[in-house]
Amino acid sequence: MRWRSALLLLLAAAAVVVAAAAEPASTLSGPARPVTVALGNRGHTVDLPDTDPRVQRRVTGWAPEQVAVALGAGPGSAWVSWVTGAAQMGGAVEPLDPAAVRSVVRYGLAADSLVHEAAGEALVYSQLYPFDGLQNYTSGIIHHVRLQELRPGTKYYYRCGDPAIPDAMSEVHAFRTMPPVGPTSYPGRIAVVGDLGLTYNTTTTVEHMVRNHPDLVLLLGDVTYANLYLTNGTGTDCYSCTFGHSTPIHETYQPRWDYWGRYMEPVTSSIPMMVVEGNHEIEEQIHNKTFAAYSSRFAFPSEESGSFSPFYYSFDVGGIHFIMLASYVDYKRSGRASPSWNHLDVESLSLTFTVSTNLFISFNKGIHLHRNNSGEQYRWLERDLANVDRSVTPWLIAGWHAPWYSTYKAHYREVECMRMEMEELLYSYSVDIVFTGHVHAYERSNRVFNYTLDPCGPVHISVGDGGNREKMATSHADEPGHCPDPLSTPDPFMGGFCAFNFTSGPAAGRFCWDRQPEYSAYRESSFGHGILEVTNETHALWSWHRNQDLYASVGDEIYIVREPDKCLPKSSRMAY
């Protein structure tokens, strides 16, 4: 009996130890020792071909396809978007008439009781290349309908299309609105993905993400990688390596957008998805137009959040205020001169272009890269932050494409100009978490501000590991021989050179650390996705899930704990 008791005691003690070991770490424990997980066999990235049934057009006539739901600025509104009609590719393309088919959503609380109706707007966009031998594209008709006066936390059933045309309404879809705005109200799970693309890695990422049953998806840019293709449909893993000097303009193959919309429809028609642009969405074309597909295909709460821009906007989900920012449009504090701001030099390039005479030019929605120093985004951000009431939405979470605190060699410190303009403002409002993508790997920072460990700085999490076609980032800037030449780091779209040698800390006088920087808590080169579960005003569990693991496995996880008494500005603290 004594042995049996001793054995039971031993087992109980072991269970306690295992339970303690299984508990995720917390930011309250202070900065974690930097960890790098060695690269294993991650496989090769291959795009889904146009013969894959998941990307092919399955509807006929004016029947809707590529159905997607996006959130409004609050739980009472949401957008339903879809495409009707066939896109065209060719030397001469003639845009469809958006007025040919209506934009209607019938919705209600039961599948057989769609008693409400809302109407919206329709548009088409074109991607035009006035060069001999290149093909042009014009989209199907893209519809956006805003549903209003929705109940929070409620499942809505809907059909979209044109009820006046036979067989032009979709099947019944359903989505759930977000919980009411308030400090005790949170969604179950928020999936965070970046650099998704449309590869076989993408499909694994999406399958894993769906198994985690998210209520909302954040997609942090680099959506389809259509710009890794020529207009004749020839693709590559690296455009500049393969076609860089042989093409008059960086071409794109816009049908890849339709492929992506079709593949994603089972997810996007039932789970709201919020997107912010990445560099692969720039897609320059005739007349310096950029971001045409991105701006036309997705719906954003831009007017509702006062930004009036598809590139940056904000929205509330329960006790979380989300701010989506633009890495690739003007982020300057004011109209200060900048010698190389966004110097996408399409004008000078265009002098060498041969204009095709059989081009049908029509733009229903002109999109221009914001290349001036207007300071519009920054001023909007100031206004938006000033309007946040932390007693209502305690959590402040920001997202954009290009990371500030990545330690990989790829894209190392190329966003330094944006960081220098915006970091202080975000820090002054005690942003809790920053989500980014762009670098094709996973990395989570310790709490950091201005490259210094700071208990009130945000946790930066980069999830550019969604499954894109390009190479995975595997080299770290702190490894011997891998520190890039500072002059080689600025991205031409990102606003010039701002990244100088560190002036303090262990890397003072150098451009790179000689070991994993202390602000980098965990980094690993695997495909995957993240899940954020906010449980109350102060605690959120972040977990990262690798594609090569079983569905229930967690690659990295941590409790992100807010400390409002310590970190909120005095004016905001008084609301508590």
Interacting residue ranges for Fe ion, rule: CB under 5 A: 222, 278-279, 438
CB of 222 to Fe ion, least distance (A): 4
Check: CB of residue 378 under 8 Å from CB of residue 302. Answer: no
Residue 386: DSSP 8-state = H
Buried b (16+ CB within 10 A) or exposed e, 42-74: beebebbeeeeeebebebeebbbbbbbbbbbbb
User: Quick one: tokens of 117?
Assistant: 């109706």
Residue closer to Fe ion by CB (options 267, 410) is 410
Check: CB of residue 153 under 8 Å from CB of residue 179. Answer: yes
Residue closer to Fe ion by CB (options 474, 538) is 474
Residue closer to Fe ion by CB (options 438, 562) is 438
On the 0-12 / 13-18 / 19+ scale of CB atoms within 10 A, 123 is middle
Look up residue 509 and give its amino acid.
Answer: G
CA nearest to 34, candidates 551, 554, 516, 557 = 516
CB of 280 to Fe ion, least distance (A): 6
Look up residue 567 and give its amino acid.
Answer: C
CB of 372 to Fe ion, least distance (A): 23
Cβ neighbours of residue 229 under 8 Å, at least 6 residues apart?
Answer: 235, 236, 251, 252, 253, 256
CA nearest to 219, candidates 278, 280, 302 = 278
Nearest residue to Fe ion, using CB? 438
From residue 109, give the alpha-carbon distance in Å to each of 75, 175, 187, 249: 15, 10, 19, 49
CB of 470 to Fe ion, least distance (A): 9
Active site residue 144: no
Residue closer to Fe ion by CB (options 222, 478) is 222
Residue closer to Fe ion by CB (options 439, 534) is 439
CA nearest to 257, candidates 419, 127, 119, 432 = 127
CB of 495 to Fe ion, least distance (A): 15
448-449 and 452-453 beta bridge pairing: antiparallel
CA nearest to 272, candidates 220, 197, 215, 319 = 215
Residue closer to Fe ion by CB (options 265, 281) is 281
- Say which of 208, 250, 370, 411 is annotated catalytic: 411
On the 0-12 / 13-18 / 19+ scale of CB atoms within 10 A, 40 is exposed
Residue closer to Fe ion by CB (options 278, 490) is 278
CB of 239 to Fe ion, least distance (A): 13
Q: Cβ–Cβ contacts within 10 Å for residue 193, how many?
A: 25
CB of 492 to Fe ion, least distance (A): 13
Catalytic (active-site) positions: 411
